[in-house]
Homo-oligomer: A and B are copies of this chain.
């Protein structure tokens, strides 16, 4: 029997970095370590005067690589037969769009003394919404001049994305904008750091970030053109001109691990580091994504991922965050949808509202009480827009709603209604895929909530009306990154020639599935009808039906549920 080989997955989240060592033969996760960012609030640098602002310091990323890998290797040390020398490849996933302004050498401006205290020189974290007005300007310009750009990103360009953030920086912090030679996605910067390719002319940019967040598409030869960008702001053309023509998939290697990093991390020099991708996309890989499988990464927010063969026709799907060839698997279109807040809503309720005090108001206590409720019994319905709506409305300027409140409404009823509202939001997304011909044959869930919250998964099964499968791995994004590491290492090094072989060997689902209960499905179908009307009434310009019956119908459903 051949000696085991290992791949390393590095997963850069919102609050921490995870390193995961995986046996490439069967996907066994032999050691992991999580290192929490040190700066800001749980790694996020905020501004109490502006709730839209969310930044990170690149130093946290660098510290995170060393500490997380060291921790994982330490945890693997007890493993019989394991040696760091048998690590054959590295994969990287990060949040995004998280662009970082860098100088001509590729060094982030956050390391420049002149910008030490300037939040605009930091990494602009995915959930930074300061560029909401800029997103509207870009959307308006594209609607006028380049509707094809919008067709690939759901009809609206988001404040969370690359160009909105750069345009906002240009407007509010021209000194930072002028000092930036270019802007680099975190997902590109980490592999470049590890392989010594941060210099702008050496850097490989991933199609995942470029395609989903920066309007890159082969059908118009890469990034958006000068005329379009110039119509938004002439200075954006300068940014455009420094961007490359080509973007890479995770099947490509960014380079080999540098001698410095090899020593620092105690890993073999020169092992390939895969081009990066966003966490959700590699979460899809770690969940064994294939056509017909909807992979939901359910955590603080959700990402909903599907793939579609490159050689089959596919319509543009309005409201999706992106349709990008090669963004998940190299040989397929990658489609990304998502909800701007899911676990964040439950956390807001438990931590900010803190119902019932510390004893009754924990997730555990509320879950226990909410489990005892029947669908419809509370008479409540909500809109899950506490952090805006990413899909299908693509609108950050939407807010949460709760309706049906009475003097008898309990904290657990509200908790369950919040969960249900996210389930209805999830169903909107699944239905949008199906409306455009992408049948959802399976739903595989991963992420913290999928792994740990049977109440949420049970409600999702009942609301969406399909079995909810759970990814075998509890750290699917990092596993997906390790799969990429195994693929760029190649079969000769003990890895794999392609993703299909690698995913078949290294990923899978748990035996336990959450099956929809027909009686609950029936009640939730009725509630979903009401949700959809509220969704359309507050989220679209086209709805003008009377809502008089909404509260009555909720009460009728409630009275039936209570018998």
Query: Which interface residue of A386, A539, A540 has the most chain B CB atoms within 10 A?
Result: A386
Question: Is A302 close to B, CB under 8 A?
Answer: no
| Contact in complex: B357, A407 (CB < 8 Å) | no
| Contact in complex: B541, A543 (CB < 8 Å) | no
Residues of chain B contacted by A361 (CB below 8 angstroms): 354, 357
Question: Is A404 close to B, CB under 8 A?
Answer: yes
A540–B546 CA distance with the chains assembled, in angstroms = 8
Query: Which interface residue of A348, A407, A544 has the most chain B CB atoms within 10 A?
Result: A407
Q: How far is the CB of A211 from chain B (nearest CB, A)?
A: 28
A556–B439 CA distance with the chains assembled, in angstroms = 40
Question: Is A554 close to B, CB under 8 A?
Answer: yes
- CB-CB under 8 A for A548 and B552, given A341-B407, A386-B406, A405-B401: no
Q: How far is the CB of A405 from chain B (nearest CB, A)?
A: 3
A405–B403 CA distance with the chains assembled, in angstroms = 12
A356–B545 CA distance with the chains assembled, in angstroms = 38
| Contact in complex: B544, A539 (CB < 8 Å) | no
Selected contact of A401 from candidates B51, B402, B552, CB within 8 Å: B402
**In the complex, which residues 454-486 of chain A have their Cβ closer than 8 Å to any Cβ of chain B?**
none
- CB-CB under 8 A for A403 and B404, given A358-B357, A538-B550: no
Residues of chain B contacted by A401 (CB below 8 angstroms): 401-405
Residues of chain B contacted by A545 (CB below 8 angstroms): 544
Question: Is A201 close to B, CB under 8 A?
Answer: no
Question: Is A547 close to B, CB under 8 A?
Answer: yes
Question: Is A369 close to B, CB under 8 A?
Answer: no
What mask results when residues 401 to 417 of chain A are scored 1 for a CB within 8 Å of chain B, else 0?
Answer: 11111111111001000
| Contact in complex: B348, A407 (CB < 8 Å) | yes
Residues of chain B contacted by A562 (CB below 8 angstroms): 49
Question: Is A555 close to B, CB under 8 A?
Answer: yes
A408–B543 CA distance with the chains assembled, in angstroms = 28
A24–B544 CA distance with the chains assembled, in angstroms = 60
| Contact in complex: A554, B408 (CB < 8 Å) | no
> Which of A166-174, A192-200, A257-265, A392-400 contacts its partner?
A392-400
Q: How far is the CB of A554 from chain B (nearest CB, A)?
A: 7
Q: How far is the CB of A302 from chain B (nearest CB, A)?
A: 15
Q: How many copies does the complex hold?
A: 2
A545–B541 CA distance with the chains assembled, in angstroms = 10
What mask results when residues 378 to 402 of chain A are scored 1 for a CB within 8 Å of chain B, else 0?
Answer: 0100000111000000000111111
- CB-CB under 8 A for A399 and B408, given A548-B538, A548-B539: no
A399–B379 CA distance with the chains assembled, in angstroms = 9
Q: How far is the CB of A140 from chain B (nearest CB, A)?
A: 15
Selected contact of A544 from candidates B398, B403, B541, B546, CB within 8 Å: B546
Residues of chain B contacted by A539 (CB below 8 angstroms): 548
Q: How far is the CB of A152 from chain B (nearest CB, A)?
A: 25
Question: Is A222 close to B, CB under 8 A?
Answer: no
Residues of chain B contacted by A344 (CB below 8 angstroms): 407
Residues of chain B contacted by A548 (CB below 8 angstroms): 537-541, 543
Question: Is A353 close to B, CB under 8 A?
Answer: yes
Question: Is A88 close to B, CB under 8 A?
Answer: no
What mask results when residues 97 to 135 of chain A are scored 1 for a CB within 8 Å of chain B, else 0?
Answer: 000000000000000000000000000000000000000
A403–B403 CA distance with the chains assembled, in angstroms = 8
Question: Is A345 close to B, CB under 8 A?
Answer: yes
A409–B400 CA distance with the chains assembled, in angstroms = 10
- CB-CB under 8 A for A554 and B357, given A386-B406, A406-B386, A540-B548: no
Question: Is A84 close to B, CB under 8 A?
Answer: no
A410–B51 CA distance with the chains assembled, in angstroms = 13
Question: Chain A residues in contact with chain B, CB under 8 A?
Answer: 49, 51, 341, 344-345, 348, 352-358, 360-361, 379, 385-387, 397-411, 414, 537-548, 550-552, 554-555, 562
A–B pairs, 20, beta carbons within 8 Å: A348-B409, A352-B407, A352-B408, A352-B409, A353-B356, A354-B356, A355-B355, A356-B357, A357-B361, A386-B405, A387-B407, A397-B555, A399-B403, A400-B403, A401-B403, A402-B405, A537-B546, A537-B547, A537-B548, A543-B547
Q: Which 8 A-B pairs have the closest CB atoms?
A: A400-B405, A357-B357, A401-B403, A399-B404, A348-B407, A541-B548, A51-B408, A354-B356
Beyond A354-B357, A402-B405, 6 extra complex contacts between A and B, CB < 8 Å: A341-B407, A400-B406, A403-B538, A539-B548, A543-B547, A544-B545
